[in-house]
Amino acid sequence: MTDPKTNDPTPGLNRRAVLKGAAAAVGAAAGSGAVTGFPTIWAQNIKDVTLRQFGTGVSNLNAIADQVKKDLGFTLRMTALDSDSVTQRAVTQPDSYDIADIEYWIAKKVFPTGALQPMDVKKIKYYDQIVPIFTTGKLTPDSVVAQGTAPSTVGFVEGPGAKTFAKAPTEWMTLIPTIYNADTLGIRPDLVGRPIANWKDILDPKFKGKTSILNIPSIGIMDAAMICESAGIIKYGDKGNMTEAEIDTTIATLIEAKKAGQFRAFWKTFDESVNLMTSGEVIIQSMWSPAVTAVRAKGVPCVYQPLAEGYRAWGGGLGIGKNVKGLVLDAAYEYINWYLSGWCGAYLNRQGYYSACLSTAKQHMSADEWGFWMEGKPAASDILSPDGKLLEKAGAVRDGGSFEERMGKVACWNAVMDKDRYMVRKWNEFIAA
């Protein structure tokens, strides 16, 4: 087997011959239906590949890189950035990465610039088993596609090189879904002193100075929309794509609440939200599910409260950079197929996220784990995190219940609006007010 990286060929072989050999090997690998499983025929070759992945911290986990090295043999190098930097890097430096681990709303910004190449679903081994939220958009045949940048609306393009999204599933996927969840408000059940059932409860004067929302405009505006609609202040045409008038009303409501002293603080990072909740500065706020787990891990009661209006969902996936080709491209497909093949899905599910290919993840989880995380059943024994820390004692039930109960009640997805720039300007007014 030849090594494509050899610059100094052995005597008797000239450089051209070596490269030719390498190309043939790659061609053979690619042509042989590379998706039939792994390790595949060019295993020795692929060990030299380093896949450069970047994305938000949420799924850039070292454990995944380690497992890739073990299962596939090649190196996965990960860079974690915040979601704004991710968007920027995806667009402006397409040569600096092979795999972009981005959220669907980011894809809506990035894909039209041509920085990513669509993926051939024929090469995705578990395509048929991907949760239908990401293909048809419907969890069950009779569910409605939620508002906002629903993954199914930006999940496909018509063909290689296309930059506009397809209305229905095609052969070419923009991102392979990896991780997603349904977000809601986190509360301190010991301090709120009353049942919390709606998004509008965050505006209750009783909680004055004890609430917080997140200060990331594209996500914060969605939480704000859920709150305003719940309070009966406004009814949106599409929360994920507001008109200027809708943005004005939403921001005016927020400013009014801020001036009345309703908010204690605004948070931008995961840790800030955990600290606000643990210290008791805040008793009801927008939260992400691992933050709730982190608060509980400190022995402080915290509930990820299901609300009548439903959840705000988000989802991420892996995309391939536009200039990735040859052996690296094969490795990228290999990695993506591995991602959906179960180990990784189980790893993510055990952290309270959801994986895109549930059937394979199930095989890597115990019946008890599956029952707790996915079916909303009481845990039969203690529930541990992937690194062995105690998350929940036996008998606990997941907040919000089963996968269907939670993902079936998604009211909107994180979104980019057409009036994005206007919205950001108004949001800055809210922070400065």
Partner 1 sequence: MIARLAPYLQAAPLALILGAFLLLPLAAIVAVSFWDYDSVQIYPDFITLNYVEALGSWVTWKTYLNTLKFVAIVWAITTVVGFLVAYFLAFHVRSATMQMVLFLICTVPFLTSNIIRMISWVPFLGRNGLLNTTLVELGIVPAPLEFLLFSEFAVVLAMVHLYVLFMVTPIFNSLMRIDRALIEAARDAGANGWQTLTNVVIPLAKPGIAIGSIFVVTLVLGDFVTVRFMSGGQSASVGLMIANQISLLQYPAAAANAVALLALVLLMVAAMLRIVDIRKEL
Q: Which residues bind partner 1 (CB under 8 A)?
A: 82, 84-85, 87-88, 91-92, 109-110, 113, 209, 212, 215, 217, 258, 263-268, 275, 279-281, 416, 420-421, 424-425, 428-429, 431-432
Residues 350 and 177: their CA atoms lie apart, in Å, by 17
**Minimum CB distance to partner 1 smaller for 309 or for 420:** 420
For partner 1, which is the closer residue by CB, 99 or 416? 416
Q: Which is nearer to partner 1, 235 or 421 (CB)?
A: 421
Nearer to partner 1, 26 or 90 (CB): 90
Residue among 170 and 215 whose Cβ is closer to partner 1:
215
Nearest approach in angstroms of CB 283 to partner 1 is: 10
Q: Which is nearer to partner 1, 16 or 421 (CB)?
A: 421
* Nearer residue to partner 1 within complex by CB, 215 or 243: 215
Q: Shortest gap between Cβ of 227 and partner 1 (angstroms)?
A: 17
State the nearest-atom distance from the C-beta of 195 to partner 1, in Å: 23
- In whole angstroms, the minimum distance from the beta carbon of 279 to partner 1 comes to 5
Smallest gap from Cβ 96 to partner 1, in A, equals 15
Please state the closest distance from residue 418 (CB atom) to partner 1, in A. 10
CB of 31 to partner 1, least distance (A): 36
Q: In one letter, which amino acid is 420?
A: D
At its nearest, how many Å lie between partner 1 and the CB of residue 267?
Answer: 7
CB of 142 to partner 1, least distance (A): 35
* 3-state secondary structure labels for all residues of the chain: CCCCCCCCCCCCCCHHHHHHHHHHHHHHHHHCCHHHCCCCCCHHHHCCCEEEEEEECCCCCHHHHHHHHHHHCCEEEEEEECHHHHHHHHHHCHHHCCEEEEEHHHHHHHHHHCCEECEEHHHCCCHHHCCHHHCCCCCCCCCCCCEECCHHHCCEECCCCCCCECCCCCCEECCEEEEEEEECEEECHHHHCCCCCCHHHHHCHHHCCCEEEECCHHHHHHHHHHHHHHCCCCCCCCCCCCCHHHHHHHHHHHHHHHHCCCEEEEECCHHHHHHHHHCCCCCEEECCHHHHHHHHHCCCCCEEECCCCCEEEEEEEEEEECCCCHHHHHHHHHHHHHHCCCHHHHHHHCCCCEECCHHHHHCCCCHHHHHHHHHCCCCCCCEECCCCCEEECCCCCCCCCCHHHHHCCEEEECCCCCCHHHHHHHHHHHHHC
Give the Cα separation of 62 and 179 in Å (integer): 16
Which residue lies nearer to partner 1 by CB, 268 or 393? 268
Cβ nearer to partner 1, comparing 25 with 91:
91
